Structure 1
Amino acid sequence: MTSQIKFGTDGWRGIIAKDFTFDNVSVCAQATAAYLKNTSPRNLSLVIGYDTRFASADFARSAAEVMAANGIKVYFCSCPTPTPVISHGVVNLKAAGAVIITASHNPARWNGFKVKSADGASAPTQMITGIEAEIAKLGDKPPVLNLDFDTAVSRGLIEHVDLAPAYFEKIGGLVDIEKLRDAGFNIAIDSMHGAGIGYFKQLLDGGCNRLNEINAEPNPNFPGMLQPEPITPNLAKLMRLVKDIRSDIGLATDGDSDRLGVVDEMGNFLNQLQVFSLLALYMLEVKGLRGPLVKTITNSSMIDKLGELYNVPVFETKVGFKYVSPVMLEQNALIGGEESGGYAFTGHVPERDAILAGAYFLDFMITTGKSPAEMLEYLYSKVGPHYYNRVDYTFAEARREEIIKHLTDQKPASLGETKVVSTDKLDGFRYKLEDGSWLLIRFSGTEPLLRVYAESPSQAKTAALLEDGRQLSGI
């Protein structure tokens, strides 16, 4: 049923064999093909890639067969490929966009259909709306065109490509790779059984570094973790490894390698807001660049303080890189980031790239001579300490309207002993407090979850705000 297909903050995702089926993937591909023919008739070409999830390569082949049958030239990735590498491939090959079969950080039973625009960015709202409209036109018995994969290859409609060499060449123009390779670091790497396997090793090997990569075999079950998301609950193995082998740093990439996780030299996880703020500081201070900073509503108020310190504007968007990317392009921004660990940079595609983010983080360490923990203290010396956390709650879909009504009815004048100075509904229900703390409650755009976020000057206050958020939502 085409009514099952709803695009969220980053493509359409569904449970494999229940919603995410070959038929539904073919419908998405047919709709995407129709959209491209309507909007980009002079450039009917597309990159198609996939991650290491169950049957991702097969789903990608099905999408390619539909595209080829519609007369669209397909550049088909020859192996599981990170999303940022595919995004760069779109620009390098001058394609009209990309389709990527991946559910990113979702649990193993999920898969997804991501769409990229011609600039390699997450498909903007206009593009997604157009594709959804084409899906609606197809109806419940959609006419989907199909051309056998091997036949399409023989006719030149599908071409196998390896996007890695051009990608690494691009990265080499943004950061001094030889400098990174000669740093002499002991680096622990967790590829989380995903598409990023081997990429940090290829980038950093061949010099004085010692590299230790774990979870470096494709495994669609993602054993030992709730989901391939580089956050504390899933990084116990990496954090132990960092301490056991006395690493200088631990780097982790999610299932499709567009999100970065960082573990400091003591085995402590640096949260995503800390990492984004450090990367922004790196761009402003180490690289000496000036330009706008772009953050989602769930990101740190440390970015606002850095904007004030370095006299650069800060732009805020809804959650999702489909909102961040257009602002980055419009404003020629230095960096864009979201709370989930995705960061994009000037001079590159306006899309999350965990590999480049990791390279920049290492360059920050080399240039300053500081460890990750020392870098965090340096950041705090400029903007003050900030403590962030997020709690996710599952809920029955039938309760969605009840939760929204409960939140709408709540109008707290204070949270704890701190006055609420403003509220808004830019993306969920946000409460800003007198001391700079904030609380946000919103529904996930990719999973049936209610997310509660908070940041404040102390860990205790952040914990209290998260409990306030739970009570305000009636969960």
Structure 2
Amino acid sequence: MSAMLMAVHTELSAAVAEWVAHDPDPASAAELAACDDDDLADRFARPLTFGTAGLRGPLRAGPNGMNLAVVLRATWGVAQVLGDHSPGSAIVVGYDARHRSAEFARASAEVFAAQGFSVSLMFCPVPTPVVAFAVRNIGAAAGVQITASHNPASDNGYKVYAAGGLQIVEPTDRDIEHAIAAAPPADQIPRTPVDHDGVEQVRSYLERAATVRRTSGSVRVALTPMHGVGGEFALDALALAGFGDVHVVESQFAPDPDFPTVTFPNPEEPGAADQLLALAADIDAEIAVALDPDADRCAVGVPTPAGWRMLTGDETGWLLGDYILSTHRSGAAVVASTVVSSRMLASIAADHGARHVETLTGFKWLARADDLDGTLVYAYEEAIGHCVDPAAVRDKDGISTAVLACDLVVALRDRGRTVLDALDDLARRHGVHTTTAVTRRVGSPQEAVEVMARLRSHAPVSLAGFDVSVTDLQPRTDALVFTGGDDTATVRVVTRPSGTEPKLKSYIEVRCTGELAAARARAEKSQSALAAEVPQWA
């Protein structure tokens, strides 16, 4: 072994020994002892990054994983940043049903309590929007939810809400990351026992979720919580709202951190909703609802002449945005969607005399879309995230979205209409919009940066036969918007690197006007051409 390699090995061995000496979890030492040098080098290469809303990563020992030591130090860091502004304030701590979530939540609550905060630790696993609601409802300084949303079973995470139940933004996330870097060793961080709490907040959340509906009458519902925590909460909220005819996918109803019936616990993934759609067909349902494991996302399925299908996040966004604006009666309304979502919501808003705000990706921006002239009444992102009651929950909320989606089906049925009819109506008024996303995997995050640089210097000159104009969203974010079109058709592609994986994502939208069938055929043809063309760029 060369002197340089020996020095690296010695440095790594010292880092591992130091970590084990201060890790309060006795299983960590055995886990690390079983790792080879490459695995150890990965686990100790860097700390787990404090990114969008918090931490997320694989459950494993070492600084580059989700484990008890990392959670303790992260909570100490959050407490230091909050303590600079809100000493003695309330903190809400919740958790989902993933592996070790309850343990991490209790540890977080105990650290906050030792730092002088008044802590409300949820009494059971809860959907993420419950924590967002509780922070806003009681005026807490912050909230923490232990969840990895729809990540694989091997992951967990640590999501932070600021006052008002909003996801944290810059510079708070960087301040927290710096504080974590300065945290004491995990076994030296004080902890104070905390009792469970939150019954009243859960009850208030469910009662509030039931109030989002605008009509009366029931509907037959097929429901899956995708092995997550949303099942009982969704049943309760739907029942309070007057929807008692709900049938569940039994094999996916009980929380199970291993997600045994799905390869990837995300309703958007191919095949993930197969059991739900089969149930919907068997019981002659009128709507199918799939929640992701922490119930902050909601996907909707509907019957068609060719069988059941899931709506895209954009289609659900158009329908709910139009429904909310059509029933909005007080004050100037603002609706919001992200730069990678469909542009139809902007047209819908104009039709209703409301304002549309386009934000960067993520609910940390969508939740802050109010402006001086109006109040946010609805926001969505194409990844099946919908905020249908911003006054109560300033984040995506699958439970209240499920209630409103069922209510929409009732409202349409009362007029002799279906969801497909409503989509046709929107297409006639605003043009046929089709959307899809394509992913280009690259060797490393650096290669993604290099591809973006080449696109900036050598942008494509045409899109589906149209001349291209390019909008560069830097410095706000690393994304390029390519647009083209004429009086009867427009095409739009937004390309950006993934924030978490080595890949580029391109979001494609085609809009065509004219007779419905012909416009759809033209839009689908252009979209297919773009989906084949875009991965070859640069």
Q: TM-score, normalised by structure 1?
A: 0.90
Aligned to 1:431: 482
- Alignment CA distance shift 1:447-1:75 (3 Å): farther
**1:53-72 to 2 correspondences below 5 Å:** 53-72=98-117
**1:123-134 to 2 correspondences below 5 Å:** 123-134=168-179
> What is the CA distance between 1:143 and its match in structure 2?
7.8
2:337 is aligned with 1:295: yes
Q: Bigger CA drift: 339-348 or 25-34?
A: 339-348
Q: Name the aligned partner's letter for residue 226 of structure 2.
A: M
Q: Name the aligned partner's letter for residue 465 of structure 1.
A: L
- Alignment CA distance shift 1:385-1:204 (3 Å): same
Aligned to 1:222: 259
**1:349-388 to 2 correspondences below 5 Å:** 349-369=393-413, 370-388=417-435
- Alignment CA distance shift 1:436-1:189 (3 Å): same
> 3-state DSSP class of the match of 1:461?
helix
- Alignment CA distance shift 1:323-1:9 (3 Å): same
Q: Name the aligned partner's letter for residue 495 of structure 2.
A: I
Cα distance between partner residues in 2 of 1:208 and 1:46: 33
Q: Bigger CA drift: 346-355 or 210-219?
A: 346-355
- Alignment CA distance shift 1:146-1:371 (3 Å): farther
Contact 2:51 2:173 in 1 (8 A): no
Contact 2:470 2:480 in 1 (8 A): no
Aligned to 1:390: 437
Between the aligned residues of both structures, percent identity stands at: 28
Cα distance between partner residues in 2 of 1:393 and 1:219: 32
Cα distance between partner residues in 1 of 2:260 and 2:170: 35
**1:198-213 to 2 correspondences below 5 Å:** 198-205=232-239, 209-213=244-248
Q: Name the aligned partner's letter for residue 428 of structure 1.
A: A
CA displacement, residues 432-468 of structure 1 (integer Å, 9 cap, x when unaligned): 2223321122223344443221111322322222232
Aligned to 2:27: none
Cα distance between partner residues in 2 of 1:324 and 1:89: 19
Aligned mate of 2:221, from 187, 190, 194: 187
> 3-state DSSP class of the match of 1:198?
helix
> What is the CA distance between 1:328 and its match in structure 2?
3.2
Q: Bigger CA drift: 294-303 or 2-11?
A: 2-11
Contact 1:265 1:371 in 2 (8 A): no
- Alignment CA distance shift 1:396-1:15 (3 Å): farther
Q: Name the aligned partner's letter for residue 349 of structure 1.
A: V
Q: Bigger CA drift: 29-38 or 401-410?
A: 401-410
Q: Name the aligned partner's letter for residue 302 of structure 1.
A: M
Cα distance between partner residues in 1 of 2:55 and 2:371: 24
**1:177-326 to 2 correspondences below 5 Å:** 182-183=217-218, 185-205=219-239, 209-214=244-249, 215-233=252-270, 234-266=272-304, 267-288=308-329, 290-326=332-368
CA displacement, residues 369-400 of structure 1 (integer Å, 9 cap, x when unaligned): 23222222222222121111123344432533
> What is the CA distance between 1:144 and its match in structure 2?
5.0
- Alignment CA distance shift 1:144-1:118 (3 Å): farther
2:507 is aligned with 1:453: yes
Q: Bigger CA drift: 462-471 or 22-31?
A: 462-471
Q: Bigger CA drift: 20-29 or 386-395?
A: 386-395
Aligned to 2:54: 11
Contact 1:2 1:135 in 2 (8 A): no
Q: Name the aligned partner's letter for residue 333 of structure 2.
A: G
> What is the CA distance between 1:341 and its match in structure 2?
1.4
> 3-state DSSP class of the match of 2:370?
helix
- Alignment CA distance shift 1:427-1:45 (3 Å): same
- Alignment CA distance shift 1:429-1:208 (3 Å): closer
Cα distance between partner residues in 1 of 2:209 and 2:368: 22
Cα distance between partner residues in 1 of 2:53 and 2:525: 33
- Alignment CA distance shift 1:208-1:274 (3 Å): closer
> What is the CA distance between 1:297 and its match in structure 2?
0.7
> What is the CA distance between 1:3 and its match in structure 2?
4.1
Contact 2:234 2:399 in 1 (8 A): yes
Aligned mate of 1:444, from 498, 501, 510: 498
Aligned to 2:17: none
> 3-state DSSP class of the match of 2:229?
coil
Cα distance between partner residues in 1 of 2:243 and 2:157: 39
- Alignment CA distance shift 1:80-1:208 (3 Å): closer
Cα distance between partner residues in 2 of 1:236 and 1:394: 27
2:73 is aligned with 1:35: no
Aligned to 2:32: none
> What is the CA distance between 1:89 and its match in structure 2?
1.0
2:198 is aligned with 1:161: yes
**1:380-419 to 2 correspondences below 5 Å:** 380-397=427-444, 399-419=447-467
Contact 2:210 2:237 in 1 (8 A): no
Contact 2:463 2:483 in 1 (8 A): no
Contact 1:20 1:112 in 2 (8 A): yes
> What is the CA distance between 1:337 and its match in structure 2?
1.3
Cα distance between partner residues in 2 of 1:438 and 1:94: 41
Q: Bigger CA drift: 444-453 or 340-349?
A: 444-453
Aligned mate of 1:47, from 64, 75, 92: 92
Q: TM-score, normalised by structure 2?
A: 0.80
Aligned mate of 2:149, from 104, 112, 136: 104
Contact 1:51 1:101 in 2 (8 A): yes
Superposed CA RMSD: 2.3
CA displacement, residues 200-251 of structure 1 (integer Å, 9 cap, x when unaligned): 2112238674211121111112223232222151212212222222210101
Cα distance between partner residues in 2 of 1:203 and 1:343: 16
Residues matched between the structures, number: 460
Contact 1:10 1:321 in 2 (8 A): no
> 3-state DSSP class of the match of 1:8?
coil
Cα distance between partner residues in 1 of 2:50 and 2:440: 21
